[in-house]
Structure formats: structure tokens, C-alpha cells
């Protein structure tokens, strides 16, 4: 562990902050390690200190001190980000906001709520249980809503409800100099000036720290029906997806796994599911609409090798558990190997070409790489199971990752559909954005002239 | 007409541009008047010259010259903006993009398209006619898609499909120094850096000029059913709206008119519709879903004085024509008076209080002010019918407008739901955004340091 040397500025900032935060300022190795590792595949980079913040004012005070002394700050929610967003490549202060877990207001009539940034989506939905409402962004991770906004997260239900980009109505943000601003509001739409809400969503803590969020909520649909179907090829599966999207079926989730992933699932759970490209589909809405659309879906999937509609809620839940366990099943193909997850997103029509293109590349390597994807959005993940201690495998995994991104960009896609850039995807942004990346840099310099906000993330200056 | 004096810089820029654009550079009074008036209630402010642009490269060349010489540029689409967005308070060059009307690509499988900025939504939907797809943003005006993006426009179907904010996947933008950038892409979602697409959407030409757009398209629903229902009060009407939203009915449009507006409609068209608060509702989806949801809607509207479901397509179209003619009916209450349209948007639950609050204010004046609204979004328009030559009426109309905005902001709403800021709403942004307005200014200064892009709009520097 290479810790940046403590500088005078850092010492001065920490002294000032220790007066303010007392025991909530931590410098133990345990705290620094926890806050500098996270879920990513990248080597840990510890912050110099951690502050357990409990309010927007706490964060404003920290940022004022950091601004004065020129010390980096790194926002930390649940530590579930995958691309090193919480790493501290230049040291500094990690601000842990997991204690900011107040659900401030729920407005059932307006179907919105206001939460502090450390509330997890699970905690919010638990809280909403008796209202008939829910917050729909559904990712695999146990993440905070502030972190989800900061990385512009999405997940399995984005095909229906959109991503964090679409569902945040307003924010409270602490700017790099400690000024507290409010963006957006509770109106469903507004044309009143620049969309600072969406500038902050996805900015990964590099422009300011999100401390509160106003979120859209939705009524829990009356009915849900699920099906799982296997196809002879990825192309046949995506044809069905395209048709279902064009027909406007009441899709809630439409997920894909490839043959390698299906083999992994069978091996992991002892099942004998067909080892072919497979779709999981959930329809939600009124009983009538769901039944009607399921019949249409069955017609649209006429080319399927097998179409299994869950007849009971238990059967549906079992079917989705298989999908949920896909990552564990993938990792079980090489016990002890964590793997890294690719994250490209392309136009849906390009999925078969993109997937078959990368499979050709994978075939030239020794890497096992099962695939799952949010196929309704054109976003898929390959889990590249390589041994970080084996130089050949590292080289091969990097080659697969960069080849995939190159293909996705050539198809009009993006290097990251939902995981964000952090440290891990920085190398690809120039190819993706071209001169627009300079516009991003100019915004960064204008709002964070001291460069203290999560430095080193998204792009270098 | 007060024209800013031509300066040396302007002369130099125009000379340079005349070489490049020849007869496409216009300085006639007719051209300047047309490009400095538009649909707004504000007194005209002419540009010094107009250039009829036909390509992104044209615009890059104009901006390079304008940048070099420090000359203002004002983007012009169809001239349908309502708040003076196309006015030239500091003179300069109006760039007319109505000739940039190429539909560049339609991708039915991916349900997206790429258009030049001068394409109108009507022209796009005409072009899409045989594909089974459509672009859903539906406003009253005959507007260009570039202009709609620049003002973050919405309209009657926003309750279902969202606004321009939600439906633009990517843009080509010419930056103030003439650099051409591409934002976003064709992927349905991305977490790759700052959301420049949504920063440009709604920036009203103050940060750059949008020249091409990638837009989401949708399948034309199989079925549509419409109803019109009258209520004893605005509160009873909005209760029905809230319930319909919470139930997730397949609402496509849900529009409101108040008693004054209904009287205007009867007087205008000789109808005898109930002179009570009225909702127009359109449900779209599969035949089954629409029929099912219409039955639920009828139950939810049990408090209605009258519930009239259109039994035929003709009846539905007649019903919507009444809604469409509402503005003409409103203006006919005071022939010769154009009126101005307010545009606040509040949380739906606050609509009854907001509307009754402003009605109390209106009652203290001599102004007639019929109301129509996109009630599913909480956005409504009062047409303030005042005589601009009558100082008392001008004072009263201003008082109503500012009282309304004050109320809307106190309720967590916005001064403009869909018309934008332009010149007309600038005075209210400080109250709406507070210190966030300074963040907008810092972004403006960073991206347009010379201040040439549509100067004087949204805010002053």
C-alpha cells in the first residue's frame, strides 16, 4: 500500500477538521483500507483520513476546509462502485455518508420523495412498503441512492422506468468551496435554465457532493408475469426483444444470458436448463394487460427453442433467483477468481454483431467470459475470469476489454452503460467523446478550480 | 425599432461572412424584422443580419467569425418561441436553420432517428408514417426539433413519454469558438462522463448551437380511447388525475380547462359543454389495456358531474379539436388582444391551491384569464388577456404573473414548465434557483467566455 506522503496542507486541514468532528474523523488503517478498496478490481488506494458525515452542513464544513487547504475529498456511500470511484489515488479525505440515511419526506399524491444521500434503495423501498409506491431502479449492488445518482446507475428495470438520469427530480449539492446549492425541484418538468441536476447525476463526485435527492416514485403494478425462453442464437433472442419493444409490451425486465453463462448456471445450481442463449422477461401492469401481452410475447418468441412462463409467483421468483445468482455462478467457473465486469451498451440491433464479434476475440484467448445483459437497453456484461497474478491472462483480459469497447464505440455505443468511469474506464473516454471531452474538462475547471473533488476520476486535467 | 449601432467588429465579421455566404446573408429590414419578432409578447429586437445556414459546417464558420470579432449570434428555428428566445437585444447575427431539414437516418429496429435541427416534429412524423413509429413530443406550436431541444419543450404527451429532456439521445453542437462536438450517442443509456446532452437541452442557444439530434422513437399504440369529464371543482378534477397516475393507467394525455376557459369554448364554437372544470383524457395501448383502463378511469372519476367517453375515432378527434382550439377560444374573449401565457409547473397535489390562489388574485383585477393545463405534469397556462396599450392592465397582468410564479416557487414548482426563460422569465430565476444560478453563470463563462452566444437570455452575467 503506497500512501501519499502527508503534506502540510493535509495536516492543517485535518487539525481543523478534528476540532469540528472529533471521533468522527478516523485515521486508522482499518478505516482507511475499508474506504480505499471497495468492490472494484483495481488495487486499493487509501485516503489519508475518513470523516463520518451526518448532514449537509458537515459536508459543507469539510469542503470549506479542503478548499482552503487544497486537500482532495472523495465521496463514499456504500463502497459498491466497480470502477474505483471511491479510490484515493492522491490521498485526501474520504467522506463517508452512509450515516445520512434519513428519509426526509414521502409525498404519495405527487409520487415523489426526498431522501438523504446515504439511504439505500432497499431501505427506501422497505419504508415505502405500505404506500403502494416504490422506487424502481434495481441494480445488483447494495448501493446508496446518492452513489447511484453520482454514477448514473441503472439496472434491470431501466427498460421500463429509465435510469437515475430520468428519475431524479432535484438535488442538494455541496459545491467544492462549501456552498450548498439546490438543483431542480418537485415539478415534474421545468425549462428554467441549465439542467444542473443532470450535470451532477453521473459526475461521480468530481463537481460537487450530492447530499439529498428528490426522486420520482411509481405505483406498484397490480400484476406481474415472468417467462424464460431459450433461443438457437443471440440474434434470434434480440429479434424477439426488438419486436417486443416495438409493440410496446408492458416489459418490466428483459434480461439475456449466453451459452457459457447458462452452462455456469447449470453447474452452479445443478439445474438442467437449456444451454442456449436465454431471455428472462417480466411483464407488469394490470392483470388484463399482463395476460394479453404475455400471449403476444409468446407469439413473438415463436422462434424460441423453449418458452417457459412461470405459472405461480413462486415459480417466477425461482426463475428470477437464477438470473440474480448469475454472477455467483459465473465466478464459480473459476473458484477464487473474482473477475472483472465489462459494461458496454450499444443500439439493440447491434447486439448480435457486437456479441459475436467479441466472442471471436475471446476464442483467441484462454479467458472464460460468461455474458449477462440488460438486453432491452443494449447493455451487457462479460465477467472476464482471469487471474490477476498471471501476466498472460491479464494481457488477454485487457485485450478483450479494449476490443469490446472499440467495437461498441464503432456501433454508436458507450464504454459504460451503468458502472461509470471512475479510474477503470478513463482510457476510453477520448475515443468515445472526442472534443466533447474538452468541454467536460472546461466545466470541471470552472466548478472545481482547485481540483479537490475526487481528483483523478473520469478524466485527467 | 431601436437597432444597436453597427460596430467595426460587426462590419468586419459581416464582410468576412458575405464572402462565404453570398446571398444567404440577409440584411433587409424584412429579414431582420422576421427574425427579431417571433411569437412572443415582447417588443421586437432585430438582429443586424440573418444567415440562412444549411449545414453544421456553415454554423461552425459563422461561429468562428463571430468568435473572432466578438459579435453576438442568435439561433433561429421556426421562430415559435414565446419568451423572446430569438430576439436580438444586442444585435448581431441571427442564424436561420429552418433549411437544415434533412432526416438523416431512421433506425426502426432501434427505435431512434437522426435529424438536422431544422426538421419540424410534424415533418418527422410525416416521414415516419409508414414505419409504425412516431416521435411523441406534441406541442401546440409548429416548432423545429432543434428549437424544441434548446428550450426543453414538452406538451400534451409528456405525462406518458417525457419531454425533450428525456427523448434526446445525442446531439451535434457547434461550440462558441466554432468547434463541432458530438454529445451522447445511440446507446439507450451511458455512464461515461458528464451529461452534455442534457446540459445543452434547455440552454436556449447560450452555450452552443444544436445542429443535429438523435431522438428516441416509439411504436404507435394499437388503440386509443378518449373521454372528457366535468367536475364541480379543480380539486375534484386533480383528485381523479392523482388516482389515475397512481394506478398506472395507460394515460397518453390528461388536460385540464377551468370554468372561464369552458365558457370561452362555448362562446367560440357555439357548443353547450358544461361550464365547469373539465378534463380531457386519452388512453393508448393495446385494445385490451385501453378498454380495461377506461373502465377503471370511469370508476375513479365517480365524483364527476359528467363523463363522456368518445365512442368513435371521429368523436375522439372532435373532442381533442375542442382542446386544441382552446387558445383561439381564449383570445376570442377579447378580440384583437393576443394575451400572454403563464407557464408555471407545480407538484400535482398543489394544483388546486395554486389555481385557487391565483384566481383570488385575478379577482382583484380587471383581467380575464382562462386556464388550460397539462395537469398530469402539474403544468398549466393562464392566457392573460390584457391590452398592452393600457398601463393599468399591463400592471395588473404583471402582478398576476409574478404572484403566480411566487406561489408556484413556494410550492416547490418552477416559473416555466415548457416555454423556457428567454428574456421574459429572467427576473424569476434568482428566486427559483438561488446560488445554483451562479453555478449556471460559471458554466456559461467557461464555455462562452466571449459572451457571444444568444447574449442576454436566461440570465445576465
Chosen from A105, A108, A161, A194 to mutate, greatest number of chain B CBs within 10 A: A194
The C-alpha cell of B186 is what? 445511440
The answer to whether A347 contacts B187, with C-beta atoms less than 8 Å apart, is yes
Per-residue pLDDT band for B7 (boundaries 50, 70, 90) equals confident
In this structure, which CATH number among 1.25.10.10, 2.30.110.10, 3.10.129.10, 3.30.465.10 belongs to the domain B111-219? 3.30.465.10
A112·B437 Cβ contact <8 A: no
Pairwise CB contact (< 8 Å): A440 & B158: no
φ, ψ of residue B217 in degrees (nearest 5): -120, 165
Q: Which of A185, A189, A198 sits opposite B195 (nearest CB)?
A: A198
Rounded Cα–Cα distance for residues B301 and A448 (Å)? 52
Measured between CA atoms, how close is A23 to chain B, in angstroms? 32
Across the beta sheet with A73-76, the strand order is A25-26, A49-52, A93-96, A73-76
| A165/B198 Cβ within 8 A | yes
The number of beta carbons lying within 10 Å of the beta carbon of residue B323 is 22
Closest Cα to residue B94, out of B86, B82, B102, B105? B86
Separation of alpha carbons B105 and B121, rounded Å: 15
B112 strand-pairing partners:
B107, B216
Closest residue on chain B to A345 (Cα): B187
CB nearest to A195's CB, from B165, B419, B428: B165
| A313: Cβ contacts below 8 Å, ≥ 6 apart | none
Name the residue with cell 370554468: B259
- pLDDT at residue B1 tops 70: no
Closest alpha carbon within chain A to B219: A246
Q: What is the 3-state secondary structure (H, E, C) of chain B?
A: CCCCCCCHHHHHHHHHHHHHHHHHEECCHHHHHHHCCCCCCCCCCCCCEEEECCCHHHHHHHHHHHHHHCCCEEEECCCCCCCCCCCCCCCCEEEECCCCCCEEEEECCCCEEEEECCCEHHHHHHHHHHHCEECCCCCCCCCEHHHHHHCCCCCCCHHHHCCHHHHEEEEEEECCCCCEEEEECCCCCCCCCCCHHHHHCCCCCCCCEEEEEEEECEECCCEEEEEEEECCCHHHHHHHHHHHHHCCCCEEEEEEECHHHHHHHHHHHCCCCCCCCEEEEEEEECHHHHHHHHHHHHHHCCCCCEEEECCCHHHHHHHHHHHHCHHHHHHHCCCCCCCEECCCECCHHHHHHHHHHHHHHHHCCCCECCEEEECCCCEEEEEEECCCCCHHHHHHHHHHHHHHHHHHHHCCCECCCCCCCCCCCHHHHHHHHCCHHHHHHHHHHHHCCCCCECCCCCCCC
* Cα gap A142→A120, rounded to integer Å: 7
Give residue B2's pLDDT: 43
Query: Residue B4: pLDDT above 80?
Result: no
| C-alpha distance from B183 to closest chain A C-alpha (Å) | 7
Q: Does domain B336-419 have CATH number 3.30.70.2740?
A: yes
**Interface with A, mutate which of B112, B143, B175, B193 (most A CBs under 10 A):** B193
What cell was used for A20? 469540528
Residues of A with Cβ-Cβ distance to B190 under 8 angstroms: 152, 345, 414, 416-417
Least confident of A106-110, B38-42, B112-116, B191-195: B38-42
DSSP letters along B388-424, please?
Answer: TT-HHHHHHHHHHHHHHHHHHHHTT-BS-SSS--TTT
**Pairwise CB contact (< 8 Å): B248 & A132:** no
State residue B5's pLDDT score: 44
- Comparing CB atoms, the residue among A152, A189, A247 nearest residue B418 is A189
Strand partners for B461: none
CATH architecture of the region A103-219: 2-Layer Sandwich (3.30)
Which of B187, B345, B348 minimises the CB distance to A190? B345
CB pair distance less than 8 Å for A286 and B286 = no
Tell me what the pLDDT averaged over chain B comes to.
96
Question: Which candidate from A153, A185, A196 shows the least CB-CB separation from B440?
Answer: A196
What architecture does CATH give domain B8-99? 2-Layer Sandwich (3.30)
Q: How far apart are the first and last CA of chain B?
A: 25
| Contact predicate A265/A279, CB 8 Å | no
pLDDT at A141: 85
Residue-range domain boundaries for chain A:
8-99, 103-219, 223-329, 336-430
Residue B199: φ, ψ to 5°: -70, -40
Which of A94, A149, A95, A92 has its CA nearest to residue A120?
A: A149
Along chain A (461 residues), what's the average pLDDT of each consecutive run of 10 residues? 65 97 98 91 95 98 98 97 96 98 97 98 97 94 96 96 98 98 97 98 98 98 97 95 93 97 96 97 96 96 95 95 93 92 97 96 97 96 96 96 98 98 97 98 98 98 91
Q: How far is Cα B65 from Cα B12, in angstroms, rounded to an integer? A: 9
Taken in order B181, B184, B187, B191, the sign of the CA dihedral is positive
The residue with cell 469497447 is A405
- Distance from the Cα of A421 to chain B's closest Cα (Å) equals 6
- Which SS3 state, helix, strand or coil, does residue B216 take? strand
How far is Cα B4 from Cα B11, in angstroms, rounded to an integer?
A: 13
In this chain, the answer to whether the domains covering B111-219 and B336-419 adopt an identical fold is no
CATH architecture of B223-329: 2-Layer Sandwich (3.30)
**Residue A39 confidence (pLDDT):** 83
- Do A196 and A183 form a contact (C-beta atoms < 8 A)? yes
Q: How far B128 CA lies from chain A's nearest CA (Å)?
A: 14
Residues in B closer than 8 angstroms to A429, CB to CB, are 192-193
**Residues B239-291: pLDDT tens digits?**
999 999 999 999 999 999 999 999 999 999 999 999 999 999 999 999 999 99
Nearest CA to CA, how far is B41 from chain A (Å)?
Answer: 18
- Residues in chain A with CB shorter than 8 Å from the CB of B166 are 162, 166
List, for residues A76-133, the tens digit of each pLDDT value.
999 999 999 999 999 999 999 999 999 999 999 999 999 999 999 999 999 999 999 9
- Return the CATH number of the domain spanning residue range A336-430: 3.30.70.2740
Mutate to test the interface with A, among B134, B178, B188 (most CBs of A within 10 A): B188
CA distances from A301 to A52, A236, A240, A349, B246 (A): 52, 9, 6, 16, 32
Residue B6 has pLDDT above 90, yes or no: no
Q: What is the pLDDT of residues B407-445, one digit of tens each?
A: 999 999 999 999 999 999 999 999 999 999 999 999 999
Cell of A149: 445518482
The C-alpha of A8 sits at a distance from chain B's nearest C-alpha, in angstroms, of 31
**B213 close to B112: Cβ distance less than 8 angstroms:** no
A181·B434 Cβ contact <8 A:
yes
Task: Evaluate whether A276 touches A235 at the Cβ level (below 8 Å).
Answer: no
Lookup: cell for A455: 481528483
Min Cα distance A208 → chain B (Å) is 11
Amino acid at each position: 500500500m503506497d500512501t501519499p506522503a502527508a503534506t502540510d496542507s493535509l495536516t492543517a486541514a485535518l487539525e481543523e477538521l478534528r476540532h469540528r468532528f472529533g471521533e468522527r474523523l478516523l485515521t486508522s488503517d482499518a478505516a482507511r483500507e475499508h474506504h480505499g478498496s471497495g468492490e472494484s478490481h483495481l488495487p486499493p488506494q487509501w485516503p489519508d483520513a475518513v470523516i463520518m458525515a451526518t448532514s449537509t452542513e458537515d459536508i459543507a464544513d469539510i469542503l470549506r476546509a479542503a478548499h482552503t487547504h487544497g486537500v482532495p475529498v472523495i465521496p463514499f456511500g456504500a463502497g459498491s462502485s466497480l470502477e474505483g470511484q471511491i479510490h484515493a489515488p492522491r490521498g485526501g479525505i474520504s467522506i463517508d455518508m452512509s450515516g445520512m440515511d434519513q428519509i426526509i419526506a414521502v409525498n404519495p399524491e405527487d409520487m415523489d420523495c426526498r431522501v438523504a444521500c446515504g439511504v439505500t434503495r432497499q431501505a427506501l423501498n422497505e419504508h415505502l412498503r405500505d404506500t403502494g409506491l416504490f422506487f424502481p431502479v434495481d441494480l445488483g449492488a447494495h448501493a446508496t441512492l446518492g452513489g447511484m445518482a453520482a454514477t448514473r446507475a441503472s439496472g434491470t428495470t431501466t427498460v421500463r422506468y429509465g435510469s437515475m438520469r430520468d428519475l431524479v427530480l432535484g438535488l442538494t449539492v455541496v459545491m467544492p468551496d462549501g456552498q450548498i446549492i439546490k438543483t431542480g425541484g418537485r415539478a415534474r418538468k421545468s425549462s428554467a435554465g441549465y439542467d444542473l441536476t443532470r450535470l451532477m447525476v453521473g459526475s461521480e463526485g468530481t463537481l460537487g457532493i450530492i447530499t439529498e435527492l428528490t426522486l420520482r416514485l411509481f405505483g406498484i403494478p397490480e400484476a406481474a408475469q415472468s417467462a424464460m425462453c431459450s433461443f438457437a442464437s443471440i440474434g434470434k433472442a434480440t429479434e424477439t426483444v426488438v419486436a417486443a419493444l416495438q409493440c410496446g409490451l408492458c416489459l418490466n425486465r428483459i434480461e439475456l444470458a449466453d451459452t457459457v453463462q447458462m452452462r455456469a448456471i447449470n453447474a452452479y445450481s445443478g439445474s438442467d436448463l437449456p444451454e442456449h442463449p436465454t431471455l428472462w422477461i417480466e411483464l407488469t401492469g394490470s392483470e388484463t394487460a399482463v395476460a394479453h401481452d404475455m400471449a403476444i410475447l409468446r407469439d413473438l418468441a415463436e422462434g424460441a427453442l423453449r418458452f417457459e412462463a412461470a405459472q405461480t409467483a413462486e415459480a417466477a421468483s425461482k426463475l428470477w433467483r437464477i438470473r440474480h445468482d448469475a454472477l455467483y455462478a459465473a465466478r464459480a467457473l473459476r473458484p477464487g477468481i473474482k473477475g472483472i465486469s465489462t459494461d458496454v451498451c450499444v443500439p439493440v440491433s447491434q447486439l448480435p454483431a457486437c456479441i459475436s464479434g467479441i466472442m471471436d476475440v475471446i476464442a483467441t484467448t484462454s479467458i472464460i467470459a460468461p455474458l449477462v445483459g440488460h438486453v432491452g437497453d443494449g447493455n451487457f456484461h462479460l465477467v472476464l475470469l482471469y487471474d490477476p497474478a498471471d501476466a498472460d491472462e491479464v494481457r488477454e483480459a485487457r485485450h478483450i476489454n479494449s476490443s469490446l469497447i472499440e467495437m461498441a464505440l464503432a456501433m454508436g455505443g458507450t464504454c459504460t452503460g451503468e458502472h461509470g468511469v471512475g479510474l477503470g474506464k478513463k482510457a476510453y473516454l477520448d475515443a468515445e467523446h472526442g472534443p466533447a471531452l474538452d468541454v467536460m474538462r472546461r466545466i470541471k475547471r470552472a466548478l472545481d478550480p482547485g481540483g479537490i473533488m475526487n481528483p483523478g476520476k473520469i478524466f485527467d486535467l
